[in-house]
Amino acid sequence: MTNFSDPTVVARAALSRLFEPSDTVGLALTLASGPIDALRIATGRISAGTTLTLEIAGLLEAQGISTRPQALGDALERWRPRVADLAPERDLATLERLGGILLTPECDEWPKAIDDLQLSAPSCLWVRGNYSRGIPELNRMVAVVGSRDSTAYGAGMTGDLAAGLVTRGYTVVSGGAYGIDAQAHRSALAAAQDERAMPTIGVTACGIDRYYPAGNEQLLRETARRGMLIAEVPPGSSPTRWRFLQRNRLIAGLCAVTVVVEARWRSGALNTAHHAAGLGRSVGAVPGSVYSANSAGCHRLLREGSAVCVTDAAEIAELAGPMGSVTLPEPDEAPAVHDGLTVEDLLLLDALPVRASTTIDKLASVAGLSIRDVLAGLSRLELSTLAQRTDDGGWRRDTPHPYSRRPHNNSTNSSSNSSNNSEKG
């Protein structure tokens, strides 16, 4: 799919090794002069000239990035030590051996959503895996991220959410780390029934030819086979702290929703969430026990209002927008016997004794209703089998068979109604 000898492709492959992720000066240079000239300038083969230098400064300023006047000069010095090691053809050959492709902003398959990163957008994306149908659209991509030291609760929730998302046709995006990330990939793969589906994408901080961390090698191989691995750094690159942090912005940028399942008060997952919020993407946080330090970061997001509380895949789908718009069914709790009654009938029902019978006058006084309202209400309650005439001409509560069907709310009532003044707490 990728033309590995296209000069633009080769130039971008080289730039992705020259620039660290989010090298805004480098990206402004690329934007101003195109990738081929950008590479010539960045490697010192041609000089930038005053006009271009001013244009780059203008681009940076327009993005609110304050730079020193000599920003480009500084950048050239920063890039110089790496020039000798550039070998984009070798990197592209590695990619080809892996059966991968290089996505560039110039190609149709480029995920447009990532351009929201503006001057932090990647120079290109190194991709391997089940690419036949391309990278899914933004509103089908959900990031599921969280702590490496996840708890059993976090793992369980991640599994439920990932499986529920895949079943609904979403792709679960994560970072391939231990803990929540690994569980997200694993459960997404397990839930995918259809080999043509794209259950999960791992966005790696290292080159896509490497499996990091080593303990996740099998999982990452399977992700590369049935899903995808994506990186902005070229093959062979090591994961560094900076690249982990920047990888988080890529995950946020690729997804309509970022869900944090478990995160400590300080956590890389919060970094991903903040990137997502900064991009105007939806952020969900899974609540958990207040006593679990691994949920403190989620609660922090909820408290700050940066995230919406999500408890299942349907709620996440709702955040993902149109494609995922589903009406949430209310949890299936048995309706109470008094559901749907008017205030008057509720007062009357509470005034009716369960065993002994009572009179209309007494009911009016106890319930605080007029005689007329008591008579009308009793007819309604009798119809709903909630009130019963007694042999002595009085009234009492009808205690129905526990599984009888109530006409007024048309649902079974599985609890005993013998207790009178019970509060729904």
Which is nearer to a second copy, 77 or 89 (by Cβ)? 77
DSSP state of 143: E
Assess 146 for contact with a second copy (CB under 8 A).
Answer: yes
In the complex, least distance from residue 108 CB atom to a second copy, rounded to whole angstroms? 31
The answer to whether residues 1 and 26 touch, using CB atoms and an 8 Å cutoff, is no
Residues from 17 through 36 that contact a second copy (CB under 8 A): 18-20, 23
Which is nearer to a second copy, 198 or 341 (by Cβ)? 341
Assess 209 for contact with a second copy (CB under 8 A).
Answer: no
CA angle, residues 11, 13, 18, in degrees to nearest 5:
90
The answer to whether residues 259 and 282 touch, using CB atoms and an 8 Å cutoff, is no
Residues from 368 through 387 that contact a second copy (CB under 8 A): 368-373
Assess 62 for contact with a second copy (CB under 8 A).
Answer: no
The answer to whether residues 283 and 277 touch, using CB atoms and an 8 Å cutoff, is yes
Residues from 215 through 274 that contact a second copy (CB under 8 A): 238-242, 244, 264-269
> Exposed (0-12), middle (13-18) or buried (19+): which is 416, by Cβ within 10 Å?
exposed
Assess 65 for contact with a second copy (CB under 8 A).
Answer: no
Part in contact with a second copy (CB under 8 A); list of ranges 4-12, 129-137, 145-153, 190-198: 145-153
Of these, 127, 205, 256, 313, which contacts a second copy (CB under 8 A)?
205
Assess 64 for contact with a second copy (CB under 8 A).
Answer: no
Could you please report the per-residue DSSP string of 234-270?
A: PTTPPP-HHHHHHHHHHHHHH-SEEEE----SS-HHH
Residues from 77 through 136 that contact a second copy (CB under 8 A): 77-82, 84-85
Angle between helices 296-304 and 268-278 (to 10 degrees): 20
Phi, psi torsion values for 366, nearest 5 degrees: -65, -45
Part in contact with a second copy (CB under 8 A); list of ranges 3-11, 15-23, 219-227, 385-393: 15-23
CA angle, residues 146, 149, 154, in degrees to nearest 5:
55
Residues from 336 through 365 that contact a second copy (CB under 8 A): 336, 338, 343, 346-347, 349-351, 361, 364-365
Residues from 280 through 299 that contact a second copy (CB under 8 A): 286-291, 293, 295-296, 298-299
Of these, 91, 181, 209, 232, which contacts a second copy (CB under 8 A)?
181
**Spatial distance between the Cα atoms of 121 and 422, rounded to a whole number of angstroms:** 60
Number of residues that bind a second copy (CB under 8 A): 83
In the complex, least distance from residue 18 CB atom to a second copy, rounded to whole angstroms? 8
The letter for the amino acid at 282 is S
**Spatial distance between the Cα atoms of 260 and 306, rounded to a whole number of angstroms:** 11
Which is nearer to a second copy, 3 or 365 (by Cβ)? 365
